[in-house]
Amino acid sequence: MSFASKWQKKDQSPGFADRLRGSVRTPVPLKSQIEEANRQIRLLIAQLDGTVNRIKQRDSTIFKNVVSSIAKHDSQHAAVYANELAEVRKMGKMVTQAQLAMEQISLRLGTITDLGEIASTLAPAVSVIRGMKDSLRMALPEADKEISEISGLLSNVLIDASTTGGISLNFDAANEDAQKVLEEAAVVAEQRMNESFPQIPAGVFAQEESGDLTA
């Protein structure tokens, strides 16, 4: 089968899901595999969005505890809640960064229209997913299977592109592009955190040691 036909050949019986799992050895068109990977990425983004919303709710509750402890001049509990709040926000930033990075990958996958764009688009996407895998698993342990499937689908397309279509892969360029995606996502995630979450009252952490809280 030519590489062009592997890219565009219409999906036929047996079932699409069965062929993706490899239970039937009918070649799956590369375009269909990319579309399936993008569909799973969109579902993952929706899950991450739900996680972000839960983190915001948790943050709001803890922040109120910080404020309440300060009002009561309870430095010990204020510091404990403030430390807990800092950890929640660290998780919030990590999840937001993952969500933004996945959104960027999804946008890129949606722009692939021919074989020539596979290497330049998919190689960085695979690198991003691999780079975010631990963070994604920490934020969404229940989505571990889906994350592996997404990575596997895109990797398989890359392998087919390089072996069947003669497309060369520049892993250094792919890793550099992936790093840019992650860095940009980190910057935007930091901005969103600053805009969406109220600042922890200054001096709360230091007051844990001194026990002095005179708000």
Q: Could you report the per-residue pLDDT of 160-194, keeping only the tens digit for each?
A: 777 765 666 676 777 888 889 999 999 999 999 98
Confidence class for position 116, pLDDT limits 50, 70, 90:
low
pLDDT on residue 48: 92
Radius of gyration of the chain (CA): 23
pLDDT on residue 137: 80
Are residues 113 and 4 in contact, defined by beta-carbon separation less than 8 angstroms?
Answer: no
- CATH 1.10.3470 assigned to 29-197: no
Enter the pTM of the model. Answer: 0.77
| pLDDT at position 11 over 70 | no
Where in the chain are the domains?
Answer: 29-197
Q: Measure the CA–CA gap between 158 and 171, rounded to whole angstroms.
A: 12
Listed ranges 78-82, 125-129, 171-175; the one with the highest mean pLDDT: 78-82
SS (H, E, C) the chain: CCHHHHHHCCCCCCCHHHHHCCCCCCCCCHHHHHHHHHHHHHHHHHHHHHHHHHHHHHHHHHHHHHHHHHHCCCHHHHHHHHHHHHHHHHHHHHHHHHHHHHHHHHHHHCCCCCHHHHHHHHHHHHHHHHHHHHHHHHHCHHHHHHHHHHHHHHHHHHHHHHHCCCCCCCHHHHHHHHHHHHHHHHHHHHHHHHHHCCCCCCCHHHHHHHCCCCC
pLDDT on residue 22: 55
pLDDT on residue 99: 92
Least confident of 19-28, 38-47, 48-57, 102-111: 19-28
Are residues 64 and 184 in contact, defined by beta-carbon separation less than 8 angstroms?
Answer: no
| pLDDT at position 6 over 80 | no
pLDDT on residue 7: 58
The residue ranking higher by pLDDT, 108 or 17, is 108
Are residues 174 and 127 in contact, defined by beta-carbon separation less than 8 angstroms?
Answer: yes
Q: Which of 27, 36, 37 is nearest to 7 (CA)?
A: 27
| pLDDT at position 85 over 70 | yes
